[in-house]
Amino acid sequence: MQRIAPCLWFDGNAEEAARFYTSVFSDSRIATTLHYTDAGPGPEGGVLAVTFEIEGQEFMALNGGPQFPFTPAISLFVHCGSQEEIDRYWSMLIDGGGAPWQCGWLQDRFGVSWQIVPDALGEMLRDEDRAKASRVMQAMMKMVKLDVAQLEQAYRDG
């Protein structure tokens, strides 16, 4: 068990969300499911919380109610080694009612924000040649789903 794990607040669909996320990422699993008792506040036997793991990272999905919806102020960042990974995670996470945003961001059907980002982007943006980094940033700002080939072209062309 990790000492610190994110707790994601859902409005009655925590179990559905945990099952969805564990279907998207291959190295994942549902660890535990907690149910309400007769003491409430939810219906006895209903799902209170689900603990799940994605790629070794523990999360808790809590059925907390409608009081606190997700915002992009917190997002889950997915490191991708290839365009194929970007394409796969992008399409799976946006499936079923998600929405694309700018610069590799999307919101899934549960309202959780994700950043689907190639590892190469960070390397290019950290380059000591600030002109290269600037071209990459300019190219990225025009994209919705990130395109590694276009980013690399911006990096090279100068």
Beta-carbon count within 10 A of 47 CB: 21
pTM over 0.85: yes
- Residue 113 CA to residue 106 CA, distance in Å, equals 6
Which H/E stretch holds residue 124? helix 119-125
pLDDT at position 110, please? 98
Beta-carbon count within 10 A of 74 CB: 10
Residues of the chain with CATH 3.30.720.100: 1-68
CATH class of 70-158: alpha beta
Average pLDDT, integer, range 83-105: 97
Average pLDDT, integer, range 92-120: 97
Average pLDDT, integer, range 88-101: 97
Q: pLDDT class for 58, splitting at 50, 70, 90?
A: very high
Residues of the chain with CATH 3.10.180.10: 70-158
Q: What would the CATH number be for the domain defined by 1-68?
A: 3.30.720.100
